[in-house]
Structure 1
Amino acid sequence: MKKAVSVFLLATLPALYGAAYANQTSTSVDGAIATEANNQVAAAENNIANTAEVALQSLLSDMKQFRADFAQTVVDADQNIVHEAQGVLTMTRPNKLRWETTFPDETLLIADGESVWNVDSFVEQVTVLSQSKAVEDNPIVLLTASDIATWNKFNIRKVDTSSVEGDDVAKQLSSFQVTPKELGGQISALTLTFNQNNELAALNMLDAQQQISTLVFKDIETRFPLAADTFTVAIPDSFIIDDQR
């Protein structure tokens, strides 16, 4: 309302004070109004972004443990299904993850906090990567990271899912989109969706090739006994180790 009033008063200046005065002042007043409006928009956007980041941090910080069955579907830019998988995802904070597929093939990926171990039983090979390099600028790192430096690498906003899910379902969900501040990474955007119990119910990843990978979780657990070897890898003697750390 204040902006509308200011614009109205500016429009009436020629009639009130003469054309010469308006010509002298309109540029500076216009500029001041535009600058103030831009500042207000920027402040509002920052407040919204900060609120979204705090909300997402709170949800994830409460998720000290997470284990669930997942169904994964990957579609290309033309919405053709290029891959489907099923398995179990286990995570603990900070920085530990176990991704185990049971269909269509048995595969295992473990992030132990320092290294990422990708076990390919079919070719009997294990590829080892530095975890910090493997997830650099990848939004997925926020699932298990809690340090401010990592969070500062990403922009976070709240997503309205009502147009996709319908109003009744959307009211039970909270969705957040995470995008890297630095462009050029493999993952362009990550959307995390939480159910009415504040549990991670789905995630959606858009990669640099415009492929979209969607994971839907079920049988979600957030409190469970954790086996000591959950994030360790036993490598058979016959396997080749490709250490790229």
Structure 2
Amino acid sequence: MNKAVSVYFVSALATAGTAMTAANAAVELDTTGSTTGKNNAHEAVSAHDAAQVNATANTSQLKASSLINDSASTSLQALLSEMKQFRASFAQTVVDAQQNVVHEAQGTLTMTRPNKLRWETTFPDDTLLVADGEAVWNVDTFVEQVTVLSQDNAIKDNPIVLLTSTDEATWSKFSISQMSTGISADNSASNAKNDTALQSYQITPKEEGGQIATLTLTFNQDNELASLNMLDAQQQVSTLVFRNIETRFPVPADTFSVDIPDSFIIDDQR
């Protein structure tokens, strides 16, 4: 069980525990009819004090949780703010809930802040997806069709939006936790000294019902995005591992535009 999941269960158990304590105090008051008025008054005061303690504890837990989330959010924003440009090759693996591999792909991801992204696959098929800041263009060369969506509507509940967004209102829609630092080790003996410390952040939409349940971003020792992991609503996990990472490069004018052949069908859903 990872740290983020553990924190969730600890918080849930703590909340359930304080609720049970208050309920028990109420039951005790209701079942002490044979006690004297003085004892009843004393118990009432004790229950009142217990309720105040529980309320204070719950408030403290909420404040602590908020501070942890704010700290992780600030830390992640600082990392991404340095990633004004990003280009890398990727290998993608998608597994289902039974850990069966259902899809594999290879390609290149290019991003610039704010709000622009270009996703190209070269295996198993040639595909292209471009987010130009206003619209998302999904080009399927196999069926010769381009689907166009409003970018705001397409990714409004998807935590992937935080990779390129600088908008505080957008960030406020997600809960962010910093996960335990891990170690990425090369399996080859010759590279045994190149073990690298990693830092990861788990992002969860505050509003339920979206397609992506959680997004985990992992950064290497150079504070570069090394991998991302997405758990979707169908319990499928998509993992992208990045190689040949660049964060400073010239951006051609047509990087985030789409040249559509005349023979292609355009399905504009904006």
TM-score with structure 1 length normalisation?
Answer: 0.87
Q: What code does the residue aligned with 2:257 have?
A: T
1:89 maps onto 2:109 in alignment: yes
Q: Distance in 1 between matches of 2:102 and 2:40?
A: 68
- Partners of 2:247 and 2:202 in 1: how far apart? 22
**Mapped partners of 1:46, 1:86: distance in 2:** 38
Q: Contact between 1:99 and 1:109, CA under 8 Å: does it hold in 2?
A: yes
Given candidates 150, 154, 166, the residue that maps to 2:170 is 150
CA distance in 2, matches of 1:137, 1:19: 55
Partner of 2:26: none
Contact 2:138–2:147 (CA under 8 A) maintained in structure 1: yes
Question: What displacement does 1:26 show?
Answer: 1.6
Gaps of 5+ in 1: 1-17
Q: Which 4+ stretches in 1 moved above 4 angstroms?
A: 18-22, 168-171
The equivalent position to 1:131 in structure 2, one of 151, 154, 158, is 151
Does residue 239 of structure 1 match 2:264? yes
Question: Please, which moves more after superposition, 58-67 or 153-162?
Answer: 153-162
Say which SS state the counterpart of residue 153 (structure 2) adopts: helix
> What's the secondary structure of 2:197's corresponding residue?
coil
CA spacing shift, 1:171–1:69, aligned 2, 3 Å: closer
Instruction: Quote the offset at 1:24 in angstroms.
Output: 4.0
Distance 2:184 2:242 in 1: 16
2:93 corresponds to: 73
Task: Please state how far the C-alpha of 1:213 moved relative to its aligned partner.
Answer: 0.3
The answer on whether the counterparts of 2:93 and 2:104 sit within 8 Å (CA) in structure 1 is yes
2:216 aligns with 191
Paired with 1:82 and 1:135, the residues of 2 have a C-alpha distance of 23
Contact 2:181 2:197 in 1 (8 A): no
Encode CA deviations 1:157-215: one digit per residue, 9 max, x unaligned: 111254x969x999711111111111111111111111111100000001110100000
Mapped partners of 2:195, 2:209: distance in 1: 32
How far apart, CA to CA, are the structure 2 residues paired with 1:184 and 1:169? Answer: 41
CA distance in structure 1 between the partners assigned to 2:91 and 2:129 by the alignment: 16
Q: Are residues 1:55 and 2:75 paired?
A: yes
SS of 1:220 mapped into structure 2: strand
Deviation at 1:42, TM superposition (A): 1.3
Deviations 1:136-177 (CA, angstroms, capped at 9, x unpaired): 111000000001111111111111254x969x9997111111
C-alpha RMSD over aligned residues? 2.0
Q: Which runs of 5+ in 2 are unaligned?
A: 1-37, 186-192
Answer whether contact 1:116 1:129 (CA < 8 A) is retained.
yes
Is 1:201 equivalent to 2:221 in the alignment?
no
| Residue pair 1:161, 1:170 contacting (<8 A) in 2 also | no
Partners of 1:190 and 1:130 in 2: CA distance: 22
Equivalent position SS for 1:157: strand
**Structure 2 counterpart of 1:230, from 245, 248, 255:** 255
Alignment partner of 2:201 out of 160, 166, 176: 176
Provide the secondary structure at the position in 2 that maps to 1:172.
strand
Count the aligned residue pairs: 226
TM-score (norm 2): 0.79
Partner secondary structure for residue 97 of structure 2: coil
Deviation at 1:22, TM superposition (A): 4.4
Confirm or deny: 8 A CA contact 1:90 1:97 kept in the other structure.
yes
